Structure 1
Amino acid sequence: MRRRRTAAAAALAGTALFGLQSCAPTTDRSHADGPDALARLQRQTVTWHGCRTGPDDTIGKELDDAKAQCAEVTVPLDYSHPGGRTIKVAMSRLKATDPEHRRGTLLYNPGGPGVPATYLALMLKKAEPRVAARYDLIGMDPRFVGRSTPLNCKWPTSSIGSAGTDRRTFDRSVVLAKDLASRCADHRDVLPHASTRNTARDMDVIRAALGESELSYLGSSYGTYLGEVYLQLFPRRADRVVLDSALNPDLYGPDLTSTSGPAVTAVLEDWAAWAARHHDDYHLGATAAEVLATVDKLNRSTVRSPLNVGSHRVDSRMLPELLWNVNAGDSDELYAAYAADIRDLSDAARGIKVTPNERLEGVLTGLSAADTDGTFSVQTAIQCADRASSRDPETYYRSIQAHRVDEPLFGPLTRNITPCSFWPTAPAERATKVHNQVPALMVGATGDPAAVYPGQRVAHRALAGSRLVTLRGAFRHTVYAGLFAPRNQCIDDTVNRYLIDGKLPSTDTTCPLTSPTSEG
């Protein structure tokens, strides 16, 4: 789950976003609202077409070149009134490359929330051609995202950031959160319907419209919560379901990241040990303690005054967001990129004129930019529609203050207030209580900084028919297929055996962090 617009989230969203359509929710007056209204939508004809929307749509061209097809399905805005207003949900399809052995349709959601998946289905095909041989791969842009009917509150910022060091800086977060929420007030007629429950229902309309009796599913990060909800709402429609880095279904909502601070700190400590071994390259400290002291000094520098990093100013609100990007993955390559970022920031803290490296420049630009594509506002809308949060700012300030000592760096970020505290609408439904025995395969890492491992265990107990395969000693978020983190052959083989051959492990098991072919 990507509550903050981290480097990984910004890169992911930036890679996948298409130009937003200008269509708004429409009213379907051709059919009365009644028991047959949803059935008519489930029987709708899916009209496939090319994916490219114009000469500048390079991603659409790449999908067309890969022989993908694109389409839109009509779904109810409000499933309690399926004959009323409708919206469009966009999707892509990559047909099974071995049609003689095709076994069904697999829908992929990479997380977010608020991340389009029409293009990312192509990433899955490239990463796991054996799975692509046996399944039609569907990448769905969830409602209000990407090519689907959009929701854009036109926010002037792409994040709220950290609450900073004191009451004054926290109060700035409160003012910003209240302002952002107010900018969504004009959309109050659709906001309650942005929920994960409705996205799961959209998935089932797609299943039916494609003529499938069952749907296979791969979800990672937030996509695991979407999968958990689908399993609860449609247990008899699920075929083979894989949840990569599962979120705690009892906590999912605006405040889920409040549990992430210690886990991200653990990743930072692992990286610090790596950086100490590479002191000759980055000069951040010869021991892990010295490296962490460098980071602490950097943090204290921004409290005194913002850092000048190229054309950007990095203050105590922004720095924890930059440091959060240690969760990108624990490979040598990703740790080295993070070390280069810290080197540039440390130089700036020492008064050295810095031209940020290309990656850091991209992250800083993204954090400083307006939310022009609506990614941050729709992500927030989904969370606010899923679960109510406290409307008292003091709840958040007390939580931050209570953890100033044990979470000095990340606590003010992960525990900060969100626009949901001032949201113009309440959730239309209660949060989904997940508890069933539908078979599913769960995979995840013990050191996951976003889907913390205790939360994965809660999800595993809620899905009593699941098997959990744990990658021990890894500090990464998502573990399958190398899509967003380093590959592990044991994990990949286990998932592929299940998706292709239907072999669910007989018991929970573990995978070693490394093997002769485990990292790629």
Structure 2
Amino acid sequence: MRVRKIATAVATGATLLAGMAVTGQASASVTGDAGTDARFHRQTIDWHGCRTGPDDETGAALDKAGAQCAEVTVPLDYRRPRGRTISVAISRVKATDPGRRRGVLLINPGGPGGSGLPRVLLGRLMPAVAARYDLIGMDPRFVGRSTPIRCRWTTDTPTRSAGPTRRTFDESVALMRELAAGCAQGDRGLLPYASTRNTARDMDVIRAALGESRLSYLGYSYGTYLGAVYTQMFGARADRVVLDSAVDPDVYGPDLLSRNAPAITAALRHWASWAAARDKEYGLGATEAEVLATVEGVDRAAAERPLRVGAYRIGAQHVPYLLFIRLYDDREEAYAGLAAEVRLLADAARGDAVTVPASLKETLDGLFTGSGPAEDRAGTPILCADRATSRDPERYFRDIQAHRADEPLFGPMTRNLSPCAFWPVTPVEAPTTIGNDAPMLIVAADGDPVTPYAGQRAMHRALTGSRLVTLRGAFRHGAYLAAGDTCVDTTVGRYLVDGVLPGGDTACDKAGAPRR
């Protein structure tokens, strides 16, 4: 789970770094190093500039903002700390008010597979927080500038609809098998160690190497699961923790989208109502029902014959994905972009020649050539290492067929199999059971199509010391610093700066007025 541009038997042994699963309260979390080689915690961090070359725009932006970058050495396998090591890339922007500095705030953007290095640039949007904390970005193990897993793919994402027929489902099975083999052809020895539990251990090495006794944390989307796992494993070392757009901890894994179709459909309806009010501009229909009929017509036409969109051929396997990724954001400009793309697809469905706009071309290049961001290529190994899934394609087909009537457009996508069904290795640890009383703040949008609200509330129930702030009437993924909502931003900022949690769960309406 990505926040786009703004988706394990318990290991034992004396050498495992703080790695036993903890299922009780945070006060029982592991706090010792459990035999870890102290050289990782005591290593010296060599800070340097972030730009790696003339074409490195991210590095240039980090340097311009005064950031520093470095690499931290961690064990590949924490059970064998004297074995192979890997590198984890980090960035830092120092607190702007060093006299009032509280500590460090590590920021994770989600994914899994999202690069965290540029997230320190969020400081410009939260100046009061940036004054009190050194902001730390991290490319999790095998992501971005950290030691990579190189999956040989010709697409930047495995997310596809199973389509309308058994034939199209079988085509998706073949693709997932091919993508799994593409990861196995790389450094297969890395795959078993891509888990979130190991990333949480890396975070604790970073905390110690920075000389900090505690770590504050801001995580979005998948980053909420990473943050919850960290509090479960290292609760006494967690300071102020904010989880935005939380995943359901019991669903997270290769099948993380399996329950999403109703939430995506609700978001699509919300957009359709918006588009209907602008029928003179987009010509998609004068009512919500008419706009949805236009969308259904596009999907039906793509199932009959792939749509000619420039050099690309868009089939029924692709249409739901193209809609889904445009529903992450409910702001005016995002909705306008989706309306323009649906208009283009509707024209293509009629057989009209269409010119591909730059924004859609970038998406299609990634979808069909693999030239886009590598988030899913890095994220899929994490999902597969975190939780085992069914390896029987028939199980997925039966599930899709059972839900075609009530989830006709998005069900065949959300319930489809992933490369994890053919993964060459199995998880080496059981999934972390989330359940502790560490104080933290959870931020949610009640119309989130990516991490549905029911799952966010499940995370809140599991973290009994948390407070939940809900942005009501928002059909978006990411609320803090992303929705332009003063109520949410103020509540999060007050917690991070002053340590003040709301007295109970609270709500903000989309206009920003708080209510209980």
TM-score scaled by length of structure 1: 0.91
- 1:97 corresponds in structure 2 to 96
- 1:21 corresponds in structure 2 to none
Please give the per-residue CA displacement for 1:461-511, whole angstroms capped at 9, x wherever unaligned: 1100000011111101110012xxx22110000000000010001101111
Aligned residue runs from structure 1 range 102-113, under 5 A? 102-113=101-112
- 1:348 corresponds in structure 2 to 348
Aligned-pair distance for 1:362?
1.9
- 1:59 corresponds in structure 2 to 58
CA distance in 1, matches of 2:81, 2:129: 35
Is this contact kept in 2: 1:242–1:441, CA < 8 A? yes
Aligned-pair distance for 1:404?
0.7
Amino acid at match of 1:317: Q
- 1:259 corresponds in structure 2 to 259
CA distance in 2, matches of 1:188, 1:12: 33
Does residue 133 of the first structure (1) align with residue 131 of the second (2)?
yes
- 1:505 corresponds in structure 2 to 502
Instruction: For residue 444 of structure 1, give the secondary structure of its aligned residue in structure 2.
Output: strand
Please give the per-residue CA displacement for 1:337-356, whole angstroms capped at 9, x wherever unaligned: 11011111111111111112
Aligned residue runs from structure 1 range 296-445, under 5 A? 296-370=296-370, 374-445=374-445
CA distance in 1, matches of 2:255, 2:294: 30
Amino acid at match of 2:71: E
Find 1:153's aligned residue among 147, 151, 155: 151
CA distance in 1, matches of 2:385, 2:404: 30
Instruction: For residue 54 of structure 2, give the secondary structure of its aligned residue in structure 1.
Output: coil
- 1:495 corresponds in structure 2 to 492
Please give the per-residue CA displacement for 1:268-309, whole angstroms capped at 9, x wherever unaligned: 000111111111110100000001011111111001101111
Structure 1 pair 463–37 and aligned structure 2 pair: CA distance change class (3 A) = closer
Aligned-pair distance for 1:376?
2.5
CA distance in 2, matches of 1:407, 1:300: 15
- 2:26 corresponds in structure 1 to none
Is this contact kept in 1: 2:111–2:376, CA < 8 A? no
How large is the RMSD of aligned CA atoms in angstroms?
1.8
Does residue 242 of the first structure (1) align with residue 239 of the second (2)?
no
Task: Give the percent of matched residue pairs that are identical in Structure 1 and Structure 2.
Answer: 59
Is this contact kept in 1: 2:253–2:383, CA < 8 A? yes
CA distance in 2, matches of 1:331, 1:37: 47
Please give the per-residue CA displacement for 1:55-99, whole angstroms capped at 9, x wherever unaligned: 222221221121111100100100111121110000000000111
Bigger CA drift: 230-239 or 55-64? 55-64
Aligned-pair distance for 1:363?
1.6
CA distance in 2, matches of 1:339, 1:139: 34
CA distance in 2, matches of 1:36, 1:252: 30
Aligned-pair distance for 1:331?
1.4
Structure 1 pair 370–421 and aligned structure 2 pair: CA distance change class (3 A) = same
- 1:271 corresponds in structure 2 to 271
Aligned-pair distance for 1:202?
0.3
Is this contact kept in 1: 2:328–2:450, CA < 8 A? no
- 2:24 corresponds in structure 1 to none
Aligned-pair distance for 1:372?
7.6
CA distance in 2, matches of 1:212, 1:434: 25
Is this contact kept in 1: 2:366–2:373, CA < 8 A? no
Is this contact kept in 1: 2:112–2:376, CA < 8 A? no
CA distance in 2, matches of 1:322, 1:97: 41
Instruction: For residue 281 of structure 1, give the secondary structure of its aligned residue in structure 2.
Output: helix
Aligned residue runs from structure 1 range 3-18, under 5 A? 9=4, 11=5
Is this contact kept in 1: 2:58–2:118, CA < 8 A? yes
Is this contact kept in 1: 2:243–2:441, CA < 8 A? yes
Is this contact kept in 2: 1:162–1:317, CA < 8 A? yes
Aligned-pair distance for 1:183?
2.2
Amino acid at match of 1:510: A
Amino acid at match of 2:278: H
- 1:74 corresponds in structure 2 to 73
- 2:295 corresponds in structure 1 to 295
- 2:286 corresponds in structure 1 to 286
CA distance in 2, matches of 1:232, 1:495: 22
CA distance in 2, matches of 1:512, 1:12: 21
Aligned-pair distance for 1:369?
1.5
Is this contact kept in 1: 2:487–2:513, CA < 8 A? no
- 1:228 corresponds in structure 2 to 228
Please give the per-residue CA displacement for 1:341-392, whole angstroms capped at 9, x wherever unaligned: 1111111111111112222222222211226874332211000000000010
Structure 1 pair 373–491 and aligned structure 2 pair: CA distance change class (3 A) = closer
Instruction: For residue 189 of structure 2, give the secondary structure of its aligned residue in structure 1.
Output: coil
- 1:169 corresponds in structure 2 to 168
CA distance in 1, matches of 2:318, 2:180: 20
CA distance in 1, matches of 2:273, 2:34: 61
Amino acid at match of 1:495: V
- 2:451 corresponds in structure 1 to 451
**Matched residue pairs, number?**
488
Amino acid at match of 2:148: P
Instruction: For residue 317 of structure 1, give the secondary structure of its aligned residue in structure 2.
Output: coil
Is this contact kept in 2: 1:152–1:373, CA < 8 A? no
Is this contact kept in 2: 1:306–1:314, CA < 8 A? yes
- 1:204 corresponds in structure 2 to 204
Please give the per-residue CA displacement for 1:376-424, whole angstroms capped at 9, x wherever unaligned: 3221100000000001001110111011111111111111111101101
Structure 1 pair 35–334 and aligned structure 2 pair: CA distance change class (3 A) = closer
Aligned-pair distance for 1:100?
0.9
Is this contact kept in 2: 1:41–1:205, CA < 8 A? yes
